[in-house]
Chains A and B, each alone.
Chain A
Amino acid sequence: MSLNLPDRSDSQIQCNDSKSRLFFTKVKKSYQKAAAAGGGEIRRFYEIGGSHLELNFAGLKGVPLLTPAFEHLISKKKEKAELNICIWDSASTGITLPSVPWNVNDCISRNQPWRFRNKRYDMLFQPENNILNLMDSALNEACFWINDFQNLPQYEIGSPLLAVFHWWFSRRHLQLIHAAAVGRSDGGVLIVGKGGSGKSSIALSCLRSDLLYTGDDYCLISDKALPTVHSLYSTGKLNDKDTSLFPGLKPSLHKPKSPKNQEKSIFFIHRIFPEKTLNEFPLKAVLIPKLTGHASPHIEKIPPASGLLALGPSTVFQLPGFEEQTFRNLSEVVKKVPCYKLELAKERDKNASALSRFLTHL
């Protein structure tokens, strides 16, 4: 798997290096002012996919919102992080973003969120939620800003800092991947497909089996000959109709603030089932679930191209930048491990048992 930067520039905004550098410096200064105004800097350290990361918060407000998803990856090492991420909001600190450094007529992309990318800097501004993600890959520093933490969207609580992690790990031989991941320490599977395909459903079922949980929606995968899957978020998702299957979870559920976009309730697996989390495993297979309503589950080998059809587009179009590289890396994954179709039975526990038996014999 080659993780070289692609030649193609996918910048939507014309922003040269000096403008980018100046903008990053201004954003970083704004963060420092916010930290002073917010009552000081809160530091948290994590070991994710082999990288030692430091999250710096300007005040306490964002800490309980952005950190639970990777609480299971807290690092004991409290210094010399490889990547520092500065996080703040304007509402609690009174410090706003610096002005946009480019001409607005040049930078609004047709039908795209605002973003730019050059060899050193990546930026994604999400206007719908007033969120800025910015990274300087030479200084190994990133910034995450939101106008008001009170308006932090549900997806950002369940899968925080996704853009920054994608930019960081894409330069470090790890590919962020849109998939659920379950297994045992000696091997596991990725469950891939677009939203609503049954990924979360089967991953949740595994909590009631002997299989362990590495991720529900996103995880990281290495480029070794036998790829290793690394946990990123320990977030579980539940539809309203599924809550009856896990009655004990009810008090721990974070429900979406509004019913828009059919968002699911989320919870943090490691807080409730700490014995069920698994931080990494060697990848044995890629599975594509299909909801059938049959009495018994059925697993059948499929060509690698079918695996890429399920895995490639749903990952590529959810991550900002490195699209071609991401597609190539995912192509390598389905060529290295076998792909299977998993026809899910109506009775969920049967699916998890079948998956466990399948993995044992793989």
Chain B
Amino acid sequence: MKYRINKPDIVLEYFEDETVLINLKNGNYYSIDKVGTDILVLIEAELSTDQILNGIKNKYNAYPGNTDSSIKKFITQLHNEKIIRQEEKTSVRDKSSEKKVPDSLKKGTKLTFSTPRLNKYTDMQELLLLDPIHDVDETGWPKKKPDEPFNQK
């Protein structure tokens, strides 16, 4: 199974040990720790779930069983938050061109694995979730309802 970053709704910036993401559609934003960032890099490189598991275990000293399940759980979490979306179909061309683990995840001494963490922030939703206005005047412009809340900052 493969996933992709849910662009253009998601914009993200990688830092050395962390990633910051914004969902432009719903106002949620997130930070992801080092291990989660490495998983995200592998997702963006269009690797399959099995390749992602191997890539992470190449870089981190992993504990059998626990590591696979926590990586899979994290990927599910990203999917549930609509940060990534499942590839609809794997084309013949995609199958033939095997994606490789990025070099950044191969080199160096192995690090200690920790459960990848996704921190979610929802405090910006209020700037997006304005009341829809459906009544319009004779020129087509929206009419303000008398009891409408004041939404603008």
Contact = CB atoms under 8 A, between A and B. Distances in A.
Interface of A: 8, 10, 96-100, 102, 104, 108-114, 125-130, 153, 155, 194-195, 258, 260-261, 303-305, 308-309, 312-314, 316-318, 323-324, 327-328, 331, 335
Given A8-B8, A195-B153, A111 B20 contact: no
A328 B11 CA distance: 9
B134 interface: yes
B20 A309 contact: yes
Interface string B1-36: 000000010010101011110101001010100000
Contact of A128 (B29, B123, B151): B151
A228 B148 CA distance: 41
A126 B151 CA distance: 10
Contact of B142 (A114, A194, A260): A114
30 contacts: A8-B8, A10-B24, A100-B140, A108-B132, A109-B132, A111-B129, A112-B130, A113-B130, A125-B142, A127-B142, A128-B130, A128-B133, A128-B148, A128-B150, A194-B123, A260-B149, A303-B15, A304-B15, A305-B18, A308-B15, A312-B13, A312-B29, A313-B22, A317-B124, A318-B127, A323-B11, A323-B24, A327-B11, A327-B22, A331-B20
Contacts of B133: 108, 127-128
A303 B18 contact: yes
A127 B27 CA distance: 20
A309 B124 contact: no
Contact of B141 (A100, A261, A324): A100
Nearest to A132: B141
Contacts of A130: 144
A126 B152 contact: yes
A316 B141 contact: no
Closest CB pairs A-B (n = 9): A100-B140, A305-B18, A127-B142, A331-B13, A8-B8, A317-B127, A99-B139, A305-B15, A260-B150
B136 interface: yes
B131 interface: yes
- The range of chain B's interface size is 35 or more
Interface of B: 8, 11, 13, 15, 17-20, 22, 24, 27, 29, 31, 121, 123-124, 127-134, 136, 139-144, 148-153
Main secondary structure of the interface of B (DSSP, over half): loop
Contacts of A303: 15, 17-18
A288 to B, nearest CB: 14
Contacts of B150: 128, 153, 258, 260-261
A108 B121 contact: no
A351 to B, nearest CB: 24
Contacts of A129: 152
A128 B149 CA distance: 8
Contacts of A317: 27, 124, 127-128
B67 to A, nearest CB: 24
Contacts of A99: 139-140
B153 A318 contact: yes
Contacts of B132: 108-111
Interface centre among A10, A96, A100, by most chain B C-beta atoms within 10 angstroms, is: A100
